[in-house]
Amino acid sequence: MAGDKANISINRRSFGKIRGSFITIAKRNANDPNITIIAEGAETALSLQQSGIKGNIIASAGISNLTNYSPFPGEKIIIAADNDSKNSITNNTVIKAAKTLEMKGAITCIVKPPENGDFNNLLQSCGDQSIRDIIEPEITKLTKAVETTKLTQTENNSIAKQNDITNVKELYNKSSSLYYFKQEEEAKVETIVVNKFLENHTGIYSSKIFNNPNLRANMVFDEETQKSWPALTIFVKNDKDEITGAKILALNSKTCNKADVAEKSVGTISGSFAEIAQQNSKYSPVTIITRILKQR
């Protein structure tokens, strides 16, 4: 009547479907750490709850079932395993399970009692605090690791964005104005080709349109064809009038039509626009938004 497991050769059986099923022992509230603790067995899960551990606590119903858990991306998971000696088969199974969960997008760590046995044994022999001393530092580590990762990602995104802006500005500085008839120097090939393309596909030629700082000519190198092509480059700006990106349309220098090369984008296009003409004070205040480039 001690409440211990029966000392017989088969002391645990499973009925029905176990694979992919888990037992929820405790759910975190809004103030608890956003951590999921998967216990190897129900006894361990209940012992963690008894010791005051906060977070989502679930029981796996066996180590072979650990790999069947489906984490959400970035889910922080602590696997509370039994201590079955360093080189045991079960130890290797737990390690493989952690790697599988990481491949599914989780962030994991494994905790075990310091001596052979499970966390229920530790609770009975050493009390609540002994479990908290093991679990709570790991919760802190996981939380800080995720915060550091988010900070690093933010920094990397900021650097990447700055690099994009730099690349776009370099592209702009290398580009040529489309309006060249009043210039003394001879027009570049790309400028002539782009002007001819616009005349052919708009049916108009106007210095007010083609002498536009957002419509430029470039020579661009295409990795797939390993060739340089004259290109119409349309630079877009944000609401602060800063150049953020560009759309590049490669042209065939012989036909002055679109080349058999995919359109390219540089920098940030979303949320930015290319101004083609400004409102004259004589006319009504109307804004017309069109596709960035349309061919007939």
Instruction: Domain ranges for the chain, please list them.
Output: 23-151, 176-267
User: How far apart (Å, rounded) are the C-alpha atoms in residues 48 and 120?
Assistant: 8
Helical pair 119-126 and 42-50, crossing angle rounded to 10 deg: 40
Which pLDDT tens digits describe the chain residue by residue (296 residues)?
A: 444 544 434 444 444 444 457 888 988 877 777 889 999 888 999 999 999 999 899 998 778 888 899 898 888 999 999 988 766 778 888 889 999 999 998 889 999 999 888 999 999 999 999 999 999 998 888 877 655 555 455 555 554 555 565 778 888 888 888 765 555 456 788 888 888 888 877 665 555 556 677 888 888 888 888 888 998 888 888 878 788 888 888 999 899 899 998 888 888 766 555 555 444 444 444 333 345 454 43
CATH fold of 23-151 reads Dna Topoisomerase Vi A Subunit; Chain: A, domain 2 (3.40.1360)
Query: In this structure, which amino acid lies at residue 65?
Result: N
